Structure 1
Amino acid sequence: PDGASFKVGPVQNFFGDLGPTDVAFHPDGGVLVSDWFKSFDKSDKGRIYRIHDPATDASRAVQETKRLLAEGMAKRSVKELGRLLGHADRRVRLEAQFALAKADNFSLLSRIAADKSSRPARLHAITALSTIVQTNSRSELIKEMESLLPLLDDEDLEVRAQSARLMGTGRLLASQASLDKLFVDSSPRVRFHAMMAYRDLFTGFRGGGHRHRLGLVDSLKQRANLLFGLNMSVGGPSLIWPSERLAEVLLQQPRAEPYVHHAAVMLLTEIARVSGVAFTPNLTGFNTNSSSSVRLSLLLAYRRLGDASVSSFLSDPDPRLVLEAARAINDVPIPAAYPQLAALLSLGQSEIGDLKSEITFFTLRRALNASFRLGHATNAQALANFAARIDVPEPLRIEALELLSEWPKPPARDHFMGLYRPLPPRDVQPAADVLRPVLASLLRDTNKDVKLAAFRASDALSLDEVDRAGLVADATQPAELRVEALKSLAKRKDARLGDALKTALADSSEALRMEATRLQGGAGDVGRLAGLLESGSLAEKRNALSALAALAGQAADAAVARQFDSLLAGTLPKELQLDVIEAAGKRAALTTKLAEWSARFAKDDALAPYRPALFGGDAAAGKSIFIENQQIACFRCHKINGEGGDVGPDLTGLGERKGREYLLESIVQPNKQIATGFESVLLTMKGGAEFAGLVKSETDTELVLNSPEDGIMTLKKADVQARQRGLSAMPEEMVTFLSKRELRDIIEFLATTK
């Protein structure tokens, strides 16, 4: 037990090296385990294991349980079924419980529930009673349920908890006073079930599904209405708001147990649904309570209701509650409260709170999104003003600028939540008008990322006030900004593009030169590109090869051919091999040279076509592919620096220990060499026995096998008649999901990870 719920006890390796997906008790004894961990091993042994003790299987208790389950409960008397509610095996108790609930034997179950001789029998009886009251509408149940009210005062906490649950399921209004007392029970589990039961009373009140006893006069009126079709007014029940008791529970120190707090929220939510407009005025004590726990319960109730009253917590003194209110408004969402959330952007630093706080950061992110989604000119102005504030963290300023850039064409997915919440296209003018006055100062900002975001926003909103050519020529500007300016000139087909390209091609910034080369495209200077292949950096040489591959004409053919000749001669830098081969593959005139290259491969060398990917990759890009590419999902099965899965071997430092060729082989031919401890085998012994598992270690005479059925085994090789090797857990076709450039990046990442 752990508060109102449970927690997992000590975890022990009970049996073998398994990855269970399900566990079930077997009627014959023991347990059945379905195993995923061995799912890649084609051992024909199946994936369901039975773990049992033959001596226990033969015991009287197991045999009796087997017989009872096989015979079923249909032909048993209610007396026997009542006795079986206290059986040692839960499966038998459940079957008896179901049978008694189906028989609708309320009186027998009531007696068992009150009998303290067997706790399991009492709890199963109460659960069976819950089933009866949930599925039966006969009027006699009111009196029968009222007879169970003393169970709410039982000394057994679980009996109290389940009895409270029973009263909620049956929606017995006569139980409300007893349930109210249980709100302060010593057990958080009882408190939880009492609050949830009281919530069910309000649900029944709202839906007309409650049970209550009428007075004599009202009872006669109801009967006359039914018999004679009259419409006389019948007095209804009343429900007490347990607000004070709820506050008392939530004021407990330390903070109320999470499940109990959740139950309080659920009860408040249901009270609000029943009371309607009367709810908020009657809960002012919650809204102004000194306890953040009490205020939070009301806030979360408003969230569940989608009630814009949640915006009142945006000015709460506790920043955690302010964030929780922002979450409710933005994440649910509650659009009626967007204006109040968006208004946070105009607050001063002292009013917002600690701008370095993560809580404030995520509150303001939601305020930015609310402004964007409202979409009025005043909201665009608020975004621009916020972006211009130097007292605000740069990531938030950048986000404000990104939202302005998306103003005319909002993406279908919500900017913050990533959920499909489309907005219609909007007029660009409000965003352009508010960005224009602050653009110059933003482009002078000391933070290069703010500068870049401001330029991109101006470009997206088609502002002409920016001197794009001047930015390209200004060597004091960040390289990223100059590249963006050059791209913008090309996109706008600006008359100054030619001069800007000349400037960029002669600049000291490699990134700018490479972008200029790319933008030249079919108009590129073959002579200059060929010169880059001789004296440029590695990145520029790759860029030049890509540009040459796209150029028409014999001069480009000749330039690529010279590089391919270097490849054939073995003098080409290994980091450029893949780039030259791919460039040649786009030149029809070089098909003969490509065929000459391919002819050098040995027929049995499966790695030969992939060896050009051994060097020259981008380790950062390789890391991204390793972790994020869901098609190959490397990270699910392998660890790097302590993070990742356990299905395959840990790859930390593998490149340093084994070399790049081993890494390539492991991806292209995963079954060629299987790492020690991960090779699966099926052994047939000379005596006929079979053992399947992972080879943990091996010598000339012995083999240590980790079998999911038999655990760690040491076997003499002389006793093995046949050895059938299983396949690697890594599929052979994995390499087909990668381009050779991606393969090169992954190898670079693995080879350089220490």
Structure 2
Amino acid sequence: MFASLAPRVAFVPVALVVMCAPAHGWALVVPPTTHGESTAAPPSPTAVVDACKIKPVEGLAKSTVATYPLIDDPVAFCIDEQGRFYFAESDRQERGIEDNRSSSWWLLDDIASETVEDRLAMYRKWEAKREGGMAYYSKWSDRIAQLRDADGNGTFEHRSDFAGPFNEPLDGSGAGLLAFDGDIFYTNIPNLWRMRDADGDGVAEFTLKDSTGYGVRVALRGHDMHGLTIGYDGKVYWSIGDRGYHVKTPDGALLHDPRAGAVFRMNPDGSELELYYTGLRNPQELAFDAEGNLFTGDNNSDGGDKARIVYCMEGGETGWSMDYQTLEGANQRGPWNQEGIWHLRPDLAPHKVTAYSPLQPAWTLPPLDHVSSGPSGLVFYPGLGLSSRYDNHFFLCDFLGGDSYSQVLSFALEPVGAGFKVVDEHPFVENVLPTDVDFGYDGKMYITDWGGGWESGEKGELYAVWDATRVADPRVAQVTQLFAEGFAQRDSDELAALLAHADRRVRQRAQFALAARGNITTALLGDVAQHGTDHFARVHAIWALGQQASRNLRNSSNLEAGSLSDATSAIDFVLPLLHDRDALVRAQAARMLGEARATAAVTTLSDLCADDNVRVRAFAAMALGKIGAREAVPAIVSMVAENADRDPFLRHAGVQALAWINDSALLGELSADPLPATRMAAMLAMRKLRDVRLAKFLNDPERTIRLEAARAINDIPMPSLRAQLADSITRFTSAPSPTTTSNAAAVASRNHSFTREVWKLTRAGTVADLSDTALFAKTPDESKELPVAAAPRNAGNQYIARIRGVVEAPLTGEYTFAIASDDDSILLVGTSDDPSTLRAIAHVDGYSEPGDYQGQPGQRSQPIRLEQGKRYAITALHAEGGGGDHCSIAWTMPDGRVEQPIGVAAVDQSEFPHMRRAIEACLAEGTPATATLLCDFALTASNPMPMRIEALDALGAWTTASPRNRVNGMYRVIDGKARDVAMLNAVLARKLAPLAENPDALLRSTARDVAVKFGVSLDPDASLRAVSDSTLSSAERVSSLRSLAGDTGGRLTVGLDAALVSDAPLLRAEARTMLLRNNDARALALLSDASASGTIIERQRAIQDLASLGGSSGDAALTPLVQQLADGTLDAALCLDVVEASTSRNEGAMHTALERWKISLNDSAINRYEAIALEGGDAVNGRTIVLYHTSAVCMKCHAIQGSGGNAAPALDGVATRGDARYLLHSLIEPNEKVAEGYVNAGASAMPSMQTVLTDREVRDAVAYLKTLQ
């Protein structure tokens, strides 16, 4: 980056360069050109306290340490040994560092990127979208600032720009800093930098690019490279978000994954760069606990998932892919949501299990807990400065865009098996917008505050929090002195004593200093490790011995006399500790011996695979894997088998060990083991090794193992095995009923009862009626017992109804209830069979499609624990206005089976993930055989209806498939134009007809749509009957009408005539459209009449159809409408449609009228929106926009029925707070009026939707918000 720029120092003494430079050389760094040096008069102590907005827990002091301009847009910070602060500052947020949500035009290019060079090519491809072209990316800069407190009064008076500007197109964000032994490490995509200020003037003269190739995608802003920290082993660790990486290591290896976030580590000199953990979304910071375990906070995707605390166990994967972020609607977040990858396990978080899926993949490691909503900075308490309550506690920044709802949280972790659970979670500092948190050597906690919002804005603060009594502890002053003076010059005995210091940072630096002295200190360290009385002194001594042994192992190719014996000596001191009484000591000894590749430890490590302590077992197994101990495989397998897949962290230890040992023959033998847990471990090890033999597991007798094989082939992916995955769908076409439960308890438990009561009204039933207890207290007009929890469809208009009864739980565990209805409904469930215990748990706003139990966030309840055999009251309240109507209740049982509605045979969804992947494989293979397989799958009545429809949808996409995997959104191209349509038609002609006559309406419609697309003839008489059948849905009748398009027997004419006089507006509109396409002479007159006098939806469709007419006929039909627009007499629901229809036409009178309308708006954007977006929107599409739009991301901050963010007001009942104009203004001018309770946060962090949504999307969003009563 800096090679072509003039150095700050013209002449640097050669001796200085040699002294400062690592083996592969430093480069001179450009002088900063942004802020330069600055000084400021410090505020008075009183002013500091008065101006400090933050609210720490009771008893702590606080102060404002620095504000803008001394600190400017701080993302992260670090503190060096001399107490100087360094800040990673970014002015480029949405000003050079972009986000797919605001640059959606390049999404496909982004998810196709594999290298940073691909990303640069994408920028150049789309540079016309940026003001100034490619220069746009370099207008603003990131930088590193250094702040110094020259007089030691606790506030900074001096600032210098340590390094920068960082403003190459590929740069940013600069989001991680680490000060270590005179070097400053800095993560700024695409590079990991190391810098040094040799002369102490606050400016780096030397810089080195340790590695490059990070950030191959844009993804989301903030998903950068960060988390720099020093590990227990003296290595530098850091993290990256899901922007991916393509990095060549110094030893020539390639680290490549364009989809996931990860953790890396290397030696401080840049050597031995390796991948440590992967599958993360955005691990902003990393922190080790006192035992050397690594953790991070990973944030949620605004798709109903939760932010997580993750234990980064070496070699593990969390399971996130950047592609998931872009999946919305029915496939929102793909497997991440559908297979519960982010869910908690009840054994790890029994106090907070809000969701758990039995489908959670075995190849992933589950989160420990759901903590915070916007995890950012993370630090582990070093041991001094606070009360003993905070021993072994972490502090986590929860960044939510505004200080009034952001905070710094504190929590601790306790071991559970080979993993951990979160305890003592609570707010520690509130009213702060924190990006990073750390402890100074003075005992104080320091917190950077972004200053408000999500984008750069020339603002920021640094705060301090401390316990006045405890920072006066003499040991705190000692810490400051120790770091200022350094450790390298200290006596070995003094350093050995410091291994027991109360401050973990002191212990660590003493460890590193002793380790660096080699064989001179080995015996001293061995004595502390074996005979020390302080636990932490022993642990640090073990780690120091491990550093010595590992260093000698690295140097073994160039041995000096005695070096090998030195390594052996370090190992010899640790070997006896494998028998130590302290389980934590045994665990660390095992870990160190594995990293030192100590073959002498194999026998004892094998024994430890059966240790009483589960964490010891895990470390022993992984140590054996690192050693490559083939002879230890029986011990590892025995551990895996005994675990029986119960503890996922212990299973991972065994799997990782097998993968590291990498004995192909042994894995082949294990794949045939009679125990499922052993075969699962073999399968997962093969996945890690990309071993093609894993395809054999597609036929394993265990469902979970078959599913893991399907996941590996599709998700990695492994294209050479795709045909076998496609063929595995035959399991679901030959089995008698793979999805109907055979659980005896569930079959026997049908002791439910349901009654439906109806109260007829003389007006439309509304959501307000559902809270009118007087209405439901009256004698119902109808009352009927129901066999299942579902009302008959299309039962009438203008009524309210109640389904009430009791359900009996067939199993003990967590149940999720759901409701579907047309129109509004509320679902209530009791804690017993007493109706007085009923409470509302879910609802439908407006309406949902029949059988759609998850289209709205409020439709599904949180998990509710029920006990087997116990009966519970249940009630659904339902309001109906007019048109179609239905109401039904479903539940998902603890074992993952679903009854939709309650009372029908349960559907086992456990095969859904395999089915989805097999369907995708059939589509991708694209052969006559796989087309036949999809048809056979759809024809198999025992297969679940959603998957049968998915198979038909895949057939419909045969020649027009998206370049994205249907399961996980991964980029993969299918050349549909090269496919043989005649072949497909031959298959469809043989197979499709029965599906078009299926009793299920949606399956019938989907089959007909496929037939229409490919010109396959179906029974035209059946289609004609469907067009005229008023009991069918509008969608099915439209589909049937379309299927008549190719009929030559006169049925199309009959069908069109029937449709034109039908009771369904959508069907009438479709008939007019088809007449226009067929050049029917009646079309123009019918469309003109409909544009003036039909229902709103018909008038809108007619205007769109008229717009498609060229020439004078279209102009003549549209001009009167445009004149009405200009006169202010046009129905408001049609204004947008008329504007869109007339904008590109040049007819004189029309153009004049349109210009007259524009003038009336007074060049005001809000006036224009009020004219076109208050009425006429599609609430159904509006719901999709509010819930799923990838650029608007409404649910990132807002919530509906408890689902979503908490950084902005919940949208429940938003329509009662104001009219449509109020709702519109909240979208276009969000700062015009800030909601009560959020005023103190300052300007709203919400951007105007004017730059995010199209006009039509704004109108639809308003229509949906109007339904939220």
Q: Same fold (TM over 0.5)?
A: yes
Q: Which residue of 2 aligns with 1:683?
A: none
Rounded Cα–Cα distance in structure 2 between residues aligned with 1:654 and 1:351: 45
1:293 aligned residue (668, 671, 677) = 677
Q: 1:597 to 1:143 in 2, by over 3 A?
A: closer
Equivalent positions of 1:298-697 (< 5 A) are 298-334=682-718, 335-336=720-721, 337-338=724-725, 341-349=728-736, 354=741, 356-407=907-958, 411-422=962-973, 425-463=978-1016, 465-466=1017-1018, 471=1023, 475-476=1027-1028, 479-480=1034-1035, 483-484=1038-1039, 499=1053, 503=1057, 506-508=1060-1062, 509-519=1064-1074, 520=1076, 525-552=1083-1110, 556-557=1114-1115, 559-564=1117-1122, 566-567=1124-1125, 571-587=1129-1145, 588=1147, 589-601=1149-1161, 606-607=1166-1167, 609-680=1169-1240, 694=1241
Rounded Cα–Cα distance in structure 1 between residues aligned with 2:1042 and 2:1215: 39
Q: Kindly state the Cα deviation for residue 19 of structure 1 after the two structures are TM-superposed.
A: 4.5
Rounded Cα–Cα distance in structure 2 between residues aligned with 1:452 and 1:339: 25
Name the one with the larger strand percent: 2
Equivalent positions of 1:27-38 (< 5 A) are 27-36=441-450, 38=452
Q: Kindly state the Cα deviation for residue 567 of structure 1 after the two structures are TM-superposed.
A: 4.8
Aligned-partner SS, 1:651: coil
Aligned partners of 1:637 and 1:645 also within 8 Å: yes
Aligned partners of 2:1041 and 2:1056 also within 8 Å: no
Which of 1 and 2 has greater Rg?
Answer: 1
Q: Which residue of 2 aligns with 1:704?
A: none
Aligned-partner SS, 1:166: helix
Encode CA deviations 1:593-645: one digit per residue, 9 max, x unaligned. Answer: 33443444468894455343112212221121112222222211222222222
Rounded Cα–Cα distance in structure 1 between residues aligned with 2:683 and 2:1177: 52
Percent of paired sites with the same residue: 33
Rounded Cα–Cα distance in structure 2 between residues aligned with 1:351 and 1:660: 50
Is 567-576 or 34-43 further displaced after alignment?
A: 34-43
Aligned-partner SS, 1:49: strand
Q: Which residue of 2 aligns with 1:220?
A: none
Name the one with the larger helix percent: 1
* One-letter identity of the residue aligned with 1:262: H
Rounded Cα–Cα distance in structure 2 between residues aligned with 1:577 and 1:278: 72
Rounded Cα–Cα distance in structure 2 between residues aligned with 1:408 and 1:603: 46
Q: Kindly state the Cα deviation for residue 473 of structure 1 after the two structures are TM-superposed.
A: 8.0
Q: 1:388 to 1:476 in 2, by over 3 A?
A: farther
Rounded Cα–Cα distance in structure 1 between residues aligned with 2:573 and 2:1196: 57
Asked whether 1:241 is paired with 2:632, we answer: yes
Rounded Cα–Cα distance in structure 2 between residues aligned with 1:12 and 1:743: 39
Encode CA deviations 1:11-55: one digit per residue, 9 max, x unaligned. Answer: 112122235332211122211123358346999762432212444
Encode CA deviations 1:186-238: one digit per residue, 9 max, x unaligned. Answer: 21111110010011111xx6xxxxxxxxxxxxxxxxxxxxxxxxxxxxxxxxx
Encode CA deviations 1:481-503: one digit per residue, 9 max, x unaligned. Answer: 5645666787x899989958964
Q: Kindly state the Cα deviation for residue 173 of structure 1 after the two structures are TM-superposed.
A: 1.1
* One-letter identity of the residue aligned with 1:727: A
Aligned-partner SS, 1:112: helix
Rounded Cα–Cα distance in structure 1 between residues aligned with 2:1006 and 2:1166: 47
Aligned partners of 1:610 and 1:740 also within 8 Å: no
Q: 1:605 to 1:398 in 2, by over 3 A?
A: closer
Aligned partners of 1:85 and 1:125 also within 8 Å: yes
Q: Kindly state the Cα deviation for residue 538 of structure 1 after the two structures are TM-superposed.
A: 1.0
Q: Kindly state the Cα deviation for residue 184 of structure 1 after the two structures are TM-superposed.
A: 1.6
Q: Which residue of 2 aligns with 1:117?
A: 533
2:1244 aligned residue (710, 715, 728) = 728
Encode CA deviations 1:525-573: one digit per residue, 9 max, x unaligned. Answer: 4433332133311111112222333445566545444445555665543
Q: Which residue of 2 aligns with 1:147?
A: 573
Rounded Cα–Cα distance in structure 2 between residues aligned with 1:596 and 1:296: 72
Aligned partners of 1:469 and 1:500 also within 8 Å: no
Q: 1:36 to 1:293 in 2, by over 3 A?
A: farther
2:440 aligned residue (26, 39, 61) = 26
2:656 aligned residue (255, 258, 266) = 266
Rounded Cα–Cα distance in structure 2 between residues aligned with 1:612 and 1:739: 12
Asked whether 1:737 is paired with 2:1163, we answer: no
* One-letter identity of the residue aligned with 1:80: E
Is 353-362 or 497-506 further displaced after alignment?
A: 497-506
Unmatched segments (≥5 aa) in structure 2: 1-413, 557-562, 742-905
CA RMSD of aligned residues (A): 3.5
Q: TM-score, normalised by structure 1?
A: 0.79
Q: 1:340 to 1:185 in 2, by over 3 A?
A: farther
Encode CA deviations 1:656-707: one digit per residue, 9 max, x unaligned. Answer: 1222222222222222222222224xxxxxxxxxxxxx4xxxxxxxxxxxxx
Is 516-525 or 447-456 further displaced after alignment?
A: 516-525
Q: TM-score, normalised by structure 2?
A: 0.49
Rounded Cα–Cα distance in structure 2 between residues aligned with 1:288 and 1:497: 62
Unmatched segments (≥5 aa) in structure 1: 206-238, 681-693, 695-725
Rounded Cα–Cα distance in structure 1 between residues aligned with 2:1155 and 2:1084: 25
Aligned partners of 1:522 and 1:550 also within 8 Å: no
Is 315-324 or 155-164 further displaced after alignment?
A: 315-324
Aligned-partner SS, 2:1217: helix
Rounded Cα–Cα distance in structure 2 between residues aligned with 1:669 and 1:376: 53
Rounded Cα–Cα distance in structure 2 between residues aligned with 1:608 and 1:440: 50
Aligned partners of 2:1024 and 2:1040 also within 8 Å: yes
Q: 1:338 to 1:639 in 2, by over 3 A?
A: closer
Aligned-partner SS, 1:646: coil
Aligned-partner SS, 1:33: strand
Q: Which residue of 1 aligns with 2:779?
A: none
Is 371-380 or 598-607 further displaced after alignment?
A: 598-607
Rounded Cα–Cα distance in structure 1 between residues aligned with 2:674 and 2:951: 33
Q: 1:385 to 1:184 in 2, by over 3 A?
A: same
* One-letter identity of the residue aligned with 2:1206: D
Is 631-640 or 154-163 further displaced after alignment?
A: 631-640
* One-letter identity of the residue aligned with 2:597: R
Q: Which residue of 2 aligns with 1:182?
A: 608
Aligned partners of 1:584 and 1:590 also within 8 Å: yes
1:14 aligned residue (424, 428, 434) = 428
Is 90-99 or 325-334 further displaced after alignment?
A: 325-334
Is 108-117 or 393-402 further displaced after alignment?
A: 393-402
Aligned-partner SS, 1:186: coil
